[in-house]
Amino acid sequence: MEVIVNSQDVMGLVLVYAIIAVSLAVAMILERRGDRNVRKVVHIGVGFFVFVWWMFSENWIMFVFFALPFALVLLAAMLKDNVVSESSLGDIANNQGHRTGLFLYVVSIGVMIVFFWDHWTAATVGIVAMTWGDGFGSVVGRRFGRHRILNGKSVEGSVAVFAATAVMAAVIILFYGWLTASGFYPSGDSIPTVPVWAASVIAGFLATVLEAVCPGQYDNLIIPLVVASAMVLLGL
């Protein structure tokens, strides 16, 4: 079998690694300043890669050169007595807590790449529900949360989860719809069987409920899987 990585794939990888590098750089600066939202900066920042997904010609390219190395680096950061774990990245992965959640974050991206490759729009909506929705929900909940509901979550944080997910879902659906119309999006459906606003509201609702009821750090795996599956059922 001939293995081909074209120039667009290379450009996609460059952009993905640039997104990761910028996210980590900002997080490390904030970590030195004692900011409590360091982990969520990475959580949200890396999520920008959904706007680059369409550039990859094959799912194995994304998996081998993006998801797998990212997972291995995070795994090294979670372990002890190695260069990565003793760096600022190790501090973010361990001292900030949520080690399992960080690892599942990357695992869920890998799952989206492997199992939802023919449904790019659905997969990316699932990812933004995890990255932007859950990320902004945590930041807003910590800073402005006053009214507690399930599992220590706040009404304010849940509203942020819904708003961030719904807005970003609409942006993603419209973005991939534009790519399809422009001929850049080679396969898969990008127009839902319901209005864009309805698909976005459904994504936001599911993300909000799951973020509130999911145990511990497993929301990083459950939210994108359920939201992406729902979007597939809606025709994305």
pLDDT tens for the chain, residues 1 to 236: 456 778 889 999 999 999 988 988 888 787 777 776 677 788 889 899 999 988 898 889 999 998 888 888 777 777 766 666 666 666 666 555 556 777 788 889 999 999 998 888 899 999 999 999 988 988 888 888 677 777 778 889 899 999 999 999 999 999 988 888 887 765 555 566 789 999 999 999 999 999 988 876 788 899 999 999 999 999 88
Q: Show Cβ contacts of residue 46 under 8 Å, excluding neighbours closer than 6 positions.
A: 19, 20, 23, 131
Residue 25 lies in a domain: yes
- DSSP state letter for 29: H
115 within domain boundaries: yes
What is the model's pLDDT at position 4?
74
Side-chain half-sphere of 203: how many Cα atoms within 13 Å? 42
Q: Which of 158, 186, 150, 168 is nearest to 231 (CA)?
A: 168
Residue 111 lies in a domain: yes
Looking at the DSSP bridge assignments, the partners of residue 154 are 148
- How many residues are listed for the chain in this entry? 236
Residue 8: CB atoms within 10 A of its CB come to: 13
37 in a structural domain: yes
Amino acid symbol at 233: L
What's the pLDDT at 1? 46
Residue 117 forms part of a structural domain: yes
Asked if residue 148 belongs to a domain, the reply is yes
Q: How many domains does the chain have?
A: 1
The per-residue pLDDT for 152 is 72
**Within-domain flag for 1:** no
d(CA 30, CA 62): 29
User: With 0-12 CB in 10 A as exposed, 13-18 as middle and 19+ as buried, what is 42?
Assistant: buried
Q: Are 49 and 43 in contact (CB under 8 A)?
A: no
Q: Which pTM does this prediction carry?
A: 0.86
Residues 1, 114: Cα–Cα separation, whole Å: 19
The string of DSSP letters for 124-182 reads HHHHHIIIIIIHHHHHHHHHH--SB-GGG-BHHHHHHHHHHHHHHHHHHHHHHHHHHHH
Q: What is the pLDDT of residues 197-211, one digit of tens each?
A: 999 999 999 999 999
Residue 148 pairs with which residues in a beta bridge? 154
Range of the domain at 205: 7-233
Q: What is the pLDDT of residue 189?
A: 52
Judge whether 2 lies within some domain.
no
Residue recorded with tokens 């079998």: 1
